[in-house]
Amino acid sequence: MRNSTCVPEFHFIQLSEDPDVQTVLLGLLLSMYILALFGNLLIILTVSSDSHHHKPMYFFLSNLSIVDICFISVTVPRVIMDLQSHCQVISYVGCLTQMSLFIIFGCMDDMLLSVMAYDRFVAICHPLYYQVIMNPSLCVILLLGSFLFSLAQFQLHYVAILNFSKCEDFIEIYNFFCGPSEVLKVAHFNTVTNTIVKFSIGTLFGLIPISGIVFSYFKIVSSIIRSPSSSGKHKTFSTCGSHLSIVCLFYTTGLGEYFSSSPSHSPRNNAVTSMIYTVVTPMLNPFIYSLRNKDIKTA
């Protein structure tokens, strides 16, 4: 009889078996990681160094940059190390640690995007009451609430995989990191249980931030349509359109990968989808939210 508490190793898939392609991927990922760090650090330094930017919008933007740095740092340095060492192996403890941090910072990213959409809704639809509604106390409460919401999602995932039912020498993960969806797949023999857990957690913690974003931008668009100023309409539509594009990119790829039931038939396609919301969106966020902002560009 084998010990039911044995601890396996986890093996990631190779992004490519071609050494030349691996070299290109290594350089590309390293460049994107440095660009993401540079862009987000620039936003943080700009907001913190200029007193004119001590406003709710910039408060949430700087916190989004901090979370994006943490979020991309959970996966990319590990992938770069794996490509350099040609060894895609991670320990059980390392896998759970990576998954835990990924859930916390990923959910924080979701919630901050929703909070920032609400901030823009108040600023555009209720400009006279903006300072009263978005007071410092509410901003701190929204930030703390986002963090607690992220911890709750992490705890539910952690409880779902506590009874790890597989006992093998190694287990293959059909991705380049230990995402919650992949760990849930290998944690249970029962596919029905796995599906129920995934859809319950995903619907609960995905529906709330998405509902907030949809409601906020629906109200914003309704308010813009009623505005008599054509220049104001164009500017607001342009800004909101760029925000919505990055939000849609993040949610469609993230939720699509999470709810995917059988990625093992095309693991590299699954890895490419994961790359979009784990690497591309954290890199684009600081530029999307700053290049359309005159004050940030001036600073």
Measured distance CA(287)–CA(43) in Å, rounded: 9
Which of 3.40.50.620, 1.20.1070.10, 3.40.50.1100, 3.40.50.300 would CATH assign to domain 9-298? 1.20.1070.10
Record the tokens describing residue 88, joined without a space: 């895609």
Which backbone phi and psi does 10 adopt, to 5 degrees? -115, 130
User: What is the pLDDT averaged over residues 270-291?
Assistant: 83
Query: How far is residue 85's CA from residue 37's CA, in Å, rounded to a whole number?
Result: 23
Whether the CB-CB separation of 78 and 30 falls below 8 Å is answered with no
pLDDT at 108: 92
pLDDT in tens, 79-131: 998 888 888 888 888 888 898 899 999 999 989 989 988 998 998 888 889 98
Residue located via tokens 């990319």: 76
**pLDDT for res 188:** 60
In this prediction, residue 184 carries a pLDDT of 79
- pLDDT band, very low/low/confident/very high, at 275 (cuts 50, 70, 90): confident
Strand order across the beta sheet in which 9-12 lies: 89-90, 9-12, 170-173
| Tens-digit pLDDT profile for residues 211-259 | 888 888 888 888 888 777 666 666 666 667 777 888 888 888 888 777 7
CA distance 237 to 220: 9
CB of 180 closer than 8 Å to CB of 100: no
Q: How far apart, in whole angstroms, are the C-alpha atoms of residue 53 and residue 73?
A: 26
Q: Domain-by-domain residue ranges, the chain?
A: 9-298
Q: How confident is the model at residue 179 (pLDDT cuts 50, 70, 90)?
A: confident
Per-residue pLDDT band for 195 (boundaries 50, 70, 90) equals: confident
Contact 35, 194 (CB under 8 A): no
pLDDT, tens only, 27-85: 999 999 999 999 999 989 988 887 777 788 889 989 999 999 999 999 999 999 888 88
